[in-house]
Amino acid sequence: MFTQSPFANLVDQVAVVTGASSGIGRSIAMELALAGADVLVHCRSSTDAAEQVANRISELGNRARVLTADLGDDDDRMQFADASWDHDWGTPTIWVNNAGVDLLTGEEAKLAYSEKLHRLYEVDVRGTVLLSRDIGRRMYDAGRGVILNIGWDQAAQGMEGDSGELFATSKNAIMGFTRSLALSLAPKVRVNAIAPGWIRTAWGEQASEEWQSRVLRETPLARWGEPEDIAKVARFLVSDDASFLTGQIINVNGGAVR
């Protein structure tokens, strides 16, 4: 029997979004709040920006709180997991692993190749894997939960250059792990990943004319994706409306096929 209901409703749910102070993470945090969720906003050091996100969520009538942690540091990561799980709102039912090293516009952009690789491994790969396993077990014991990871649509076929090599290495690891963790935690916890294409985050806003042309050439919908495009898909994937989806990598890339 069909009944009317708001699509991808997240009322009475608690979400954690890592790397939520800017870009895709900020948009996901706001979109989940618009769907009704209370949101724990994580950042590593951009506390002012994270507080702005939390304030905007509070203005919507939702609860919001900022938690800081370097997810590449074992002690920080474990304390963050405990603080996210044990608080007065109830345990999280949604966990979004968006945090990652910014090799293009962040302070790590100046590092040597080997140092970039090490940082990506510590934060993007090891941080995501260990957090997901920890939180996934807690969700499984609680009887429900959704974990959403962030991959990359070009990881499988590769992309030229240092950044292409580095991101393909880390994002292939995350996407493969996503598929396996989904099997480990089924049927109580769903695990999926979004693989964004060309998204206009900080790097996209300052990209050269050559890159601007390449993006339009490689994207059938002939435009950059926006962080909000990723956020809307994230909202669906963590909602009960996607209850028969797990172990999937969802490309959000304007139709790019390579």
Sheet holding 38-43, edge to edge: 64-68, 38-43, 14-17, 94-97, 145-150, 189-196, 249-252
The two tokens of residue 219 are 């994207």
Name the one residue in this structure whose structure tokens are 């994937």: 237
Which pLDDT belongs to residue 141? 98
- Per-domain residue ranges of the chain: 14-252
Decide: helix, strand or coil at residue 116.
helix
CB 123 within 8 A of CB 171: no
The Cα 251–Cα 6 span in angstroms is: 24
Among residues 178, 186, 187, 190, which one has the least CA distance to residue 242? 190
**Helix 227-238 with 23-34: angle, nearest 10 deg:** 50
- Which CATH superfamily is 14-252 part of? NAD(P)-binding Rossmann-like Domain (3.40.50.720)
Angle, CA of 100, 199 and 158, to the nearest 5°:
70
Among residues 70, 14, 23, which one has the least CA distance to residue 49? 23
The two tokens of residue 230 are 């990723």
> Is the torsion defined by CA of 12, 240, 229, 181 positive or negative?
positive
Per-residue pLDDT of the chain (258 residues), as tens digits, is 455 557 899 999 999 999 999 999 999 999 999 999 999 999 999 999 999 999 999 999 999 999 999 999 999 999 999 999 988 899 999 999 999 998 888 788 899 999 999 999 999 999 999 999 999 999 999 999 999 999 999 998 898 999 999 999 999 999 999 999 999 999 999 999 999 999 988 787 877 888 888 989 999 999 999 999 999 999 999 999 999 999 999 999 999 866
Which pLDDT belongs to residue 6? 77
Decide: helix, strand or coil at residue 30.
helix
Which pLDDT belongs to residue 258? 62
